[in-house]
Amino acid sequence: MESNRIEISVRGMPPKPWATGELTWRRLVADSCAAVTSIDHDALARVGSFEVTLVFFLTPARCRDTDLDNLAKPVLDTIFLIDRPQTQDQTLTGALVRRNDGAIRKLTLEKRPGHEPAELGVDILVEWSSDLD
């Protein structure tokens, strides 16, 4: 792989926390991952560990009241492959990295206010060492 980072911006829908009927949100995240055509899934599966940054854009009221950890879980479970997905739609897991999210060594979470519906969503940054750890 040439680059050691993938950046994805998912916009146009408010992020949904875990256990709130988040399947539509996860579909948007999965489709945004699928749009990145430069992904070598086999090489990513061999990477030792990852650093992930998620920046959520929420309405000001939700920005104050929503727990970051609950926002992160649906996104991570979509990006990384989970062992026992809680959905029958297998395209909603491992959309970017076909490894369990236990391979994440550093996770950075942030939330920022978004004022227009088109601003709402998440910026995703996945990084790894170029030597595949």
- What's the CA gap between 22 and 74, in Å, rounded? 7
Query: What residues pair up with 66 in beta bridges, in sequence order?
Result: none
Question: How many domains is the chain partitioned into structurally?
Answer: 1
User: For the segment 53-96, what is each residue's pLDDT rounded down to a tens digit?
Assistant: 999 999 999 999 999 999 999 999 999 988 766 666 777 889 99
Enclosing domain of residue 110? 5-127
In a domain, 133, yes or no: no
- What's the CA gap between 119 and 77, in Å, rounded? 23
In a domain, 16, yes or no: yes
In a domain, 36, yes or no: yes
In a domain, 132, yes or no: no
CATH code of the domain containing 82: 3.30.1330
User: For the segment 1-56, what is each residue's pLDDT rounded down to a tens digit?
Assistant: 457 999 999 999 999 998 888 899 999 999 999 998 888 888 888 898 999 999 99
Among 83-92, 93-102, 103-112, name the most confident range. Answer: 103-112
In a domain, 123, yes or no: yes
Q: What is the pLDDT of residue 33?
A: 94
The DSSP string of the chain is ---SEEEEEEESS----TTSSTHHHHHHHHHHHHT-TT--HHHHHT-S-EEEEEEEEE-HHHHHHS-HHHHHHHHHHHHB--SS-SSS-GGGSSSSBSS-GGGEEEEEEEEEE--SGGG-EEEEEEE--TT--
- What's the CA gap between 56 and 13, in Å, rounded? 11
- Dihedral sign from CA coordinates of 27, 29, 33, 36: positive
In a domain, 59, yes or no: yes
Q: What is the pLDDT of residue 132?
A: 47
In a domain, 65, yes or no: yes
